[in-house]
Amino acid sequence: MSADDWGALTLVLLAAGLVCASAAWATAARRVWAPPALLLLLAAGIVAAAPPDVQVDGRGLTTVLVLLGGALAVAGGGPLTALVFDLVDRRESAPESLETAGRVLRGGAWIGALERLAIFSTIAAGWPEGLAVVLAVKGLGRYPELRAAEDGVRTGAAERFIIGTLTSVLWACGCAGVVLLVR
């Protein structure tokens, strides 16, 4: 296979991952579609990394690559993070505390989407230091809520914040990594 063929296969895998990730936003479909989205991202990463040369030819396909990677970073991280929370909630002895934590950390889905977009953008643009800036802004912005939630009662908000942030960041970094491997 040529370098362009490997690049085209990477585009197809990212597009299929985006379709799966979009379908996973429905709560009932999360367990069905989030794992294939993750597997498709992993497959795209392997296809982008394994051959000696992978490329997309032309400015238009490079734009498509970046747009697909960015869209997958934003759309796929939410369902995957929610799936991880489902697994954590199921294993916790007091799931009501995690539900309370979800109410304390309002706007988590929107903040997570913006966080993944910012992380993807900084890494894809070749400025990995931006990752530290994004995480610092998020941590400082959430600190008052986390502090207030933990005063007096154990809500699990801090744990939920850490789990959600790490899942979301790893997903966005994976999407940006695929783009960087091909570009």
Domain assignments of the chain as residue spans, ordered by start: 3-182
Of residues 63, 16, 64, the one with CA closest to residue 43: 16
Residue 169: predicted pLDDT: 94
User: pLDDT averaged over consecutive 10-residue blocks of the chain (183 residues)?
Assistant: 89 97 90 95 95 87 95 94 83 53 62 92 93 87 64 66 90 96 88
Buried b / exposed e over 130-168, threshold 16 CB at 10 Å, is: ebeebeeebeeebeebbeebeeeeebbbbebbebbbebb
Tokens 């990594």 map to which residue?
Answer: 177
Q: Residue 183: its pLDDT value, please?
A: 79
- For residue 61, which of 7, 116, 139, 137 has the smallest C-alpha distance? 7
What is the predicted pLDDT for the residue at 181?
Answer: 93
Helix axes 157-182, 3-23, angle to 10 degrees: 150
